[in-house]
Amino acid sequence: MLNLNAESHTQTLVEMAHQLCIAARTAPKARGRDFLVTGIVSGADKTRLADTMRDIARRDGVAFFERDAQNIDDSPVVVLIGTRKEVMGLPHCGYCGFEDCQKLSESGGVCAFNSGDLGIALGSAVSRAADLRLDNRIMYSVGKAAVELKLLGPDVSMAYGIPLSARGKNLFFDRG
């Protein structure tokens, strides 16, 4: 009989997390331009991420960051998916709410296609997690803390986190 200990359990989840990152990477992107950045966090980096979420909860008065931080503590592995802030340079677009890409860039805003591509990539990643029967949840709060910590690099302006778990009960269900 093979009994997975905590270390091999985490290692297996890390290997599966790589598959989520590949699913995100191969998702369709506007004009074929790839501004996505992915990462996998566990161990000390994951603890730092959860601690930053708690700091944000206290600093900004958003209690659900504290609840989500507990989910991060309880998950062995977290996948991060973010996007760099780049404009597409499409003529006559305006989806971002600005007249053109130059005005968007001057304002410091985010291109609508960056957000759209990120959403499609997240959907591909959690679809792969479902294929692997991994409990998961897309969390904006995790991404916010990851951006503050610059875990995906200094040029990533928007990110989400996907904590992963494989237990007898889904950590992300009935969270209160």
Indicate which CATH number applies to the domain containing 43. Answer: 3.40.109.10
Confidence of residue 175 (pLDDT cuts 50, 70, 90): low
Percent of the chain with pLDDT over 90: 78
Residue 83 DSSP code: E
In a domain, 1, yes or no: no
Q: Is the pLDDT of residue 3 over 60?
A: no
In a domain, 30, yes or no: yes
pLDDT digits (tens, 9 = 90+) for 90-147: 888 999 999 999 999 999 899 999 999 999 999 999 999 999 999 999 999 999 999 9
pTM for this predicted structure? 0.92
In a domain, 168, yes or no: no
Residue 44: which domain range?
6-163
In a domain, 105, yes or no: yes
CA atoms within 13 A on the CB side of 166: 19
How many structural domains compose the chain?
1
In a domain, 176, yes or no: no
pLDDT, mean over the chain: 93
